[in-house]
Amino acid sequence: MIYTRNGADAIAKRTTIVSPGTGHEHWGTVFFGPRSSSGPAPGPQATMSELQAHETITPHFHGVTMFQCFVAGSGTLGARKQPIEPLTVQFKDHHTAYGPIIAGPHGLSFVAMRMYTGNSEPVYLDKPGYRDRLEPTKRRHLTSEPVRFSIAPVLQARTEVVWETLFQDVEDGMHAQVVRLGAGMVVEGPDPRAAGGYYLLVGNGSLRHENQEFPLWSMICVEPNEERFEIRAGEFGVEALVLQYPREA
C-alpha cells in the first residue's frame, strides 16, 4: 500500500506534549499511525518532535527500526556531542541505543519514520530493567553529512535526474538517498520489493501524486508489497529524501 501525508496539513495539527524522556513540554506532530505504540498495528508510523531550546533527551532505544531526520534548529548527538544541523539523516536499527540529543539555543526539530507500527516506546538507559528489553540487532547507528538543497531557480531549471547516496548497506538493502528533479520531471523510484519498502520526505519544492501537490515535509510511504512507484516533481521541482528500509526477518 502507498500512504501519503501533506506536510502542511500535518504540521497545522501540532500539539503540545510532555516528553516521557525529559518531563518537559515540547511540540509533537503525527504524520502516520499513533505517536507512540506498545504493539503492532496496521500501517506505518511517523512523527515530528520539536524541542525547546537546550532541552535534552537522555540515551534510549526503540523496538522498531527507524530513519530520523533533523530538519530545523540545531543541537548535538551522543556523548561526544556530534553537531547536528539541518538536514541530517540518521538510521537506527531496532534495539540500538543512541543519545543524548541536546537541542541548541533555538530548539531542534526532527522527524522519526518507521515502516510499520510496532513497539516504538522509548526505553531509557537511566531507568532500571532496560537490559531485559534488549534483543539481537545489527546495532547500526548512522548519521549523514548535512544535505544541502538548491535555491528555487536552480531547482526549477534542472534537466537531469540526480541521485546521491548518503549511506548504504547492500547486505540487507538499507539505503538513504537524495533525489533531485527539475520542474515536472518524473523518475522511477527504487523497487519497493528489493528490501523493506521506503519513505519519500520532501526537503525542497514539492511532489505530485494522484493529482495532489505535496509540499515541504510531506511524506509518502511505499510499502514493500508495491510493485513500483513513480516520483513526480511539482511545477517548481523537488528534492526529496528516499529512505529505503532493510529487509528484516
Domain at 193, CATH number: 2.60.120.10
Q: How far is it, in rounded angstroms, from Cα 200 to Cα 184?
A: 17
Q: In Å, how far are 48, 52, 57, 84, 131 from 105, measured between CA atoms?
A: 19, 8, 15, 13, 33
For position 22, what pLDDT does the model report?
67
Same domain, 118 and 160: no
**Mean pLDDT, 10 residues at a time, the chain of 249 residues:** 97 91 86 86 94 94 94 96 96 94 97 92 84 87 97 97 97 97 97 96 97 97 95 97 91
Same domain, 213 and 174: yes
Q: Which of 86, 109, 143 is the last residue of a domain?
A: 143
Same domain, 79 and 199: no
Q: For the chain, how many structural domains are there in total?
A: 2
Same domain, 235 and 120: no
Same domain, 110 and 169: no
Same domain, 122 and 165: no
Same domain, 137 and 116: yes
For position 93, what pLDDT does the model report?
94
CA max distance for the chain? 56
Same domain, 165 and 84: no
Does some domain include residue 68?
Answer: yes
Same domain, 120 and 82: yes
Does some domain include residue 164?
Answer: yes
Taking the complete model, does pTM exceed 0.85, yes or no? Answer: yes
Does some domain include residue 202?
Answer: yes
Domain that holds residue 104: 2-143
For position 202, what pLDDT does the model report?
98
Does some domain include residue 249?
Answer: no
Same domain, 115 and 157: no
Rg value, the chain, Cα = 17
- Give 80's contacts (C-beta < 8 A, 6+ positions apart): none
Q: Which of 83, 114, 143 is the last residue of a domain?
A: 143
